[in-house]
Structure 1
Amino acid sequence: MSLRENLNVVFVGHVDHGKSTLIGRLLYDTKALPDGAIEKVKKISEEEGKKFEYAFLLDAFEEEQRQGITIDITMIQFFTKRRDYVIIDAPGHKEFLKNMISGAASAEAAILVVDAKEGIQEQSKRHGYILSLLGIKKVYVAVNKMDLVDYSEERYNEIVTQFNEFLGNLNIHPESYIPISAFLGENVAKKSEKMSWYKGKSILDTMDGIEKDKGIEKKPLRFPIQDIYKFDNRRIIAGRIESGSLKKGDEVVFYPSLKTTKVKSVEFWQDKDKTDEVSAKMSVGITVEDEFYNKRGEIICHKDSGITVSNSFNANVFWMGKEPFLKGKKYKLKIATQEIEIEIEKIKKVIDAATLQEITGADHINKNDVAEIVIKSQQPICFDAFGDNEALGRFVIIDEFNTSGGGIILGSAEVSKKERETKRLVTKEDRKNKFKELGKLIAINGDNKETNISFAIKLEKKLFDLGQKVYYLDSKEYEKIADILRENGITVIVANREKLSEAVEIIVDEAGKISDNILNII
């Protein structure tokens, strides 16, 4: 019997826009609630003189019912014929946005609820922004309370236009917009007859249509060590594989120590669980051939696909702490099982999540602000850029034992040209005096990319045979090392790039032939 597919979906939205009502209605319509639950809630509502709300089905705590807002994250399970779901009910009230972040972090898709009558509010925009920072790309917008605007197609289109414009600036492009009335069940579990102008799917059919990301087990191995257990004469390294796969006999490297060994065994509790290979999202224990000191927080990778190790990185960060996020103050950073003391090295810009207005020159980040910063530490940090591996590209920040912020890693922090020159003993001027001149930059451009590249490679060989220092760089390599090569008197050839002001530009025709005359203009 094959395992059923599981999908985690986070629901976000303004505190009064009906998010909890939508979730409650989904549970009601899919018969996911235990027997008697609805009657019990209806009886309590009647005794307290309240009108029954589907949102009450989610209120697990009396304190929440008294305040009229949902405080803690609720993980709700239900299933359809297609698969199992975990709904992450993330609070919408400003004071509890940090809880929303913790919930959204494990989501594969998001449903953002907007009130058709009130329209897009500041909190709706902030939620959209945070979803973009968390890298959740599969976003669906539920335009709720359509009954309050007489199921108006015109009003629905206004909401779609406004939100598309805002979310487009965040590089979020909703998969679809669904007009609904959560309380009345219109377009929730089945198509609504009251909105015949809408040709799309209901909320439930939309969720069933979400395609899970495939291939996480094909990504490079990332196995953060959670703990070391000693049984008889074995030292079992335990943790959860975040990506990739691992099998007995694999050569692995422990980061950041760079110690290398081989997997001796994959451990198991019962004979039915015995296997020599494990993969992403599995919690496992292994032993290795060489005995050396291992500790929680180290990352196990395959030898040919190592992780980045650095003392600084660029990040998008969102701050929810009571006190501002300050430059110079020490905080604790958590990435997977790593816990490292860090501080802000540089605040590049602070962004108002509601208006997207950018503030430069700031020395702190206030509550509910979003920022692009450089984080540094004394200890080395193991990480991936979020776009390459979500689990090792996402972090949280602890301030005085409280989870106060989090974000995603954009990549290693680049040292500015000025900083690079002041820290080095050989300057650009020294190189110029020694080599007499900079290497040239030759840009090969034309209508046909493959022809340009072929021409560039042949030109490299021609100049090399003539005794010149020359190097062809592809587009990825160019940004990294072109300046370094030129400073050492080496001519650099690139193909199919934008017009470069410093370059000797050669336009190549379709034939792509090399003429001896080309050397006269280089």
Structure 2
Amino acid sequence: MQTETGTEEQDIKLVMAGHVDHGKSTIIGRLLADTDSLPEGKLEQVKENCRKNSKPFEYAFLLDALKDEQSQGITIDSARVFFETDYRKYIILDAPGHIEFLKNMVTGAAKAEAALLVIDAAAGVQENSRRHGYMLSMLGIDQIAVLVNKMDLVDYDREVYEDIKAEYSQFLEEIDIEPETFVPVSGFEGDNLIDNSENMSWYEGRTVLDILESFENEKLPADKPFRLPVQDVYKFTKGGDDRRIVAGTVESGSIEVGDEIAFYPSGKKSAVKSIEGFNEPEHKSVGVGQATGLTLEEQIYITRGEVATKNGEMKPETGSRLRANIFWLGEEPLKKDKTYDLKLNTSRSRARLEEIKRTIDASDLSQRQDKEKVDRHDVAEVVLDLDEAISFDLSGELTNTSRFVLVDDYEIAGGGIIQEPLKDEHSWVREKVMLRNYKWESSRISRERRAEKYSQQPTMVLITGEEDVGKKPTAKALEQQLFNDGKVVYFLGIGNVLYGVDADIKHAEENHKQEHLRRLAEVSNIMLDAGTILIVTAIEIRQQDLELIETTVDSRQIETVWIGENITTDVSYDLHIPSFEDEQESAHRIKQLLQDRGIIFKPW
């Protein structure tokens, strides 16, 4: 749509927020009617339905798309509503105000560029009025106008309006929100929506439509560092097509063919060979907001959840411990003894609440530093511990790659923004791994070609347990069985590493154990890159030891086996062999595990 100056004006996304029954849907319905944005005859049809059912007409009925909403008298889903003026088009997200549907409001607000926050003049400022204001603040929506609705029910009393304005302005000031303006309105009567109302001659400010047309479109982060969260990697084989296409949507910045890119948290790098689109010709570049596919000059192995970045630009943060501000909406409180799913863009990790630094009641801004859980509707500053490292940006730098949601039992129960990464026990290893991957010189022989040639998937078989329970005999028997089957396999005893690669480290000192494990993992990584099945034995591996190894070696390439009746550590194992009686039998059981996992061929 062209503006008066001849420039192209983008559609703008708005969210309508406010307490239940404060009249959001009525305001939207009246805007639709008064801007002639309804389908022809729709208004008359709704009025006729009301007449037939002996029901007073409400403009809110224009929005009630769900069958049961009119009977409940509340809007229970974030409805997308469209209307337009001579200036531009608007997309309104009608966010529910009922406390049971507060999470829908968050979903709607997260997509909006501006907000109209509605307060009932007769009811005054309510808890949800404050909560919604706080959440809009957390979501970074700073274009907000407050509509004091239903002024007709208070006889257009200016004093009522001024009292609400003063009370809510004070609250907004405390959470660092400066609204565009306050407007006294009547959604039902249409006062101050499109034209200034004669019923409130004391109000000389702008109408709601004037304010809407003054809202500015959020600038796309085209000038920000390039970020493309990896949605999937597609492999083609038909007709000799051997492309691997990295697919995702550009969240910020842009990329061109030939640009060097790196993926995080792995740190692997390559260059853009081509930019693909579905049923489209190849592009030379791609920018923010576009769904696309990239092929790379070097066939590196990356997975869903990694973030593509452009070399020379600001790198994302990487870590598994995060300080974050969250809002909690779950039925059950956020607790330390439970695990949740954290979803950020395309990544998904298991997360635990490590620490509650403080909680804030969003309705009155009271704070506590002694709570052991985060209750429903609380806002909190917390430390989250993830089961694996993810890459992200900070809330003040790139918005889309700093927001996350927390899932509890398949339901979105909360969300938040990341404030900073915190050190974890494997940060020092992760930094070395990212540098190694960035500097890695790839072979011309891809991982897939080796797997096809050897008829096996490269895998580390980690056999652990107490001393003298048959680990080494089993490992050597497994190596022999797989070798006889034609597999590329190698047994690596821990001593082979300790007295070779680790010869410069004192073996007896406990504080060197992590470095021993890191070097073992690096040797294993090279062997796996060569396509081998690597069999390693080690005494009583702990979960933290395994996690250190998994920082260096992809966890999907590790199968852990515990031999012996007594399980003396907390390690997560894939197979338990409780009693060792025969090395060939134990080896056969591990071989069956590899067959079941598709690592080696399973004969019919």
Check if 1:342 corresponds to 2:347: no
What is the one-letter code of the residue matched to 1:69?
A: I
Q: For residues 25-68 of structure 1, what are the alpha-carbon distances to aligned partners after superposition, in whole Å with 9 as ceiling and x for unaligned? A: 11111222212222222122222221100111111112111211
1:99 to 104, 116, 130: 104
Check if 1:132 corresponds to 2:141: no
Question: 2: CA distance between counterparts of 1:126 and 1:4?
Answer: 32
2:126 to 104, 116, 121: 121
Uncovered stretches (5+) of structure 1, i.e. residues with no partner: 416-424, 426-522
Cα distance 1:351–1:414, how it changes in 2: closer, same or farther (>3 A)?
Answer: farther
What is the one-letter code of the residue matched to 1:313?
A: L
Check if 1:219 corresponds to 2:224: yes
Question: 2: CA distance between counterparts of 1:264 and 1:140?
Answer: 47
What is the one-letter code of the residue matched to 1:317?
A: I
For the 8 Å contact 2:146–2:179, the answer to whether it is kept is: yes
Counterpart position of 1:230: 235
SS of 1:225 mapped into structure 2: strand
SS of 2:173 mapped into structure 1: helix
Counterpart position of 1:397: 406
Counterpart position of 1:366: 375
Question: 1: CA distance between counterparts of 2:341 and 2:8?
Answer: 38
Check if 1:293 corresponds to 2:316: no
Question: 2: CA distance between counterparts of 1:341 and 1:244?
Answer: 29
TM-score, structure 1 as length reference: 0.77
What is the one-letter code of the residue matched to 2:410?
A: F
For the 8 Å contact 1:328–1:345, the answer to whether it is kept is: no
SS of 2:160 mapped into structure 1: helix
1:201 to 193, 197, 206: 206
Deviation at 1:172, TM superposition (A): 0.9
Counterpart position of 1:488: none
Deviation at 1:197, TM superposition (A): 2.6
Deviation at 1:320, TM superposition (A): 1.2
Counterpart position of 1:314: 323
What is the one-letter code of the residue matched to 1:207?
A: L
Question: 1: CA distance between counterparts of 2:278 and 2:352?
Answer: 42
SS of 1:379 mapped into structure 2: strand
Question: 1: CA distance between counterparts of 2:282 and 2:9?
Answer: 21
Question: 2: CA distance between counterparts of 1:300 and 1:330?
Answer: 28
Question: 1: CA distance between counterparts of 2:423 and 2:147?
Answer: 40
Give identity over the alignment, percent. 47
Question: 2: CA distance between counterparts of 1:265 and 1:145?
Answer: 57
Q: For residues 309-365 of structure 1, what are the alpha-carbon distances to aligned partners after superposition, in whole Å with 9 as ceiling and x for unaligned? A: 011111111111111111131100011111111011111111111111112121111
For the 8 Å contact 2:402–2:418, the answer to whether it is kept is: yes
2:394 to 385, 395, 414: 385
Deviation at 1:153, TM superposition (A): 2.6
Question: 2: CA distance between counterparts of 1:292 and 1:413?
Answer: 29
1:376 to 348, 367, 385: 385
Check if 1:251 corresponds to 2:256: no
1:73-112 equivalence runs, <5 A: 73-112=78-117
Check if 1:328 corresponds to 2:344: no
For the 8 Å contact 2:306–2:390, the answer to whether it is kept is: no
TM-score, structure 2 as length reference: 0.66
Question: 2: CA distance between counterparts of 1:242 and 1:210?
Answer: 23
Counterpart position of 2:273: 264
Give the CA RMSD over aligned residues.
1.8
Q: For residues 197-222 of structure 1, what are the alpha-carbon distances to aligned partners after superposition, in whole Å with 9 as ceiling and x for unaligned? A: 32222111211111123251001111
Check if 1:281 corresponds to 2:286: no
Counterpart position of 2:171: 166
Larger Rg: 2
What is the one-letter code of the residue matched to 1:40?
A: Q
Deviation at 1:413, TM superposition (A): 3.4
Question: 2: CA distance between counterparts of 1:247 and 1:151?
Answer: 59
Counterpart position of 2:151: 146
Counterpart position of 1:486: none
For the 8 Å contact 2:258–2:272, the answer to whether it is kept is: yes
Check if 1:352 corresponds to 2:361: yes
For the 8 Å contact 1:129–1:170, the answer to whether it is kept is: yes
Question: 1: CA distance between counterparts of 2:264 and 2:58?
Answer: 52
Question: 2: CA distance between counterparts of 1:381 and 1:270?
Answer: 32
**274-283 vs 168-177, greater mean Cα deviation:** 274-283
Deviation at 1:410, TM superposition (A): 1.6
Deviation at 1:382, TM superposition (A): 1.1
Number of aligned residue pairs: 415
Deviation at 1:274, TM superposition (A): 4.8
For the 8 Å contact 2:15–2:94, the answer to whether it is kept is: yes
Counterpart position of 2:10: 5
Q: For residues 165-191 of structure 1, what are the alpha-carbon distances to aligned partners after superposition, in whole Å with 9 as ceiling and x for unaligned? A: 001111111111111111111111222
Question: 1: CA distance between counterparts of 2:408 and 2:137?
Answer: 24
Question: 1: CA distance between counterparts of 2:394 and 2:132?
Answer: 22
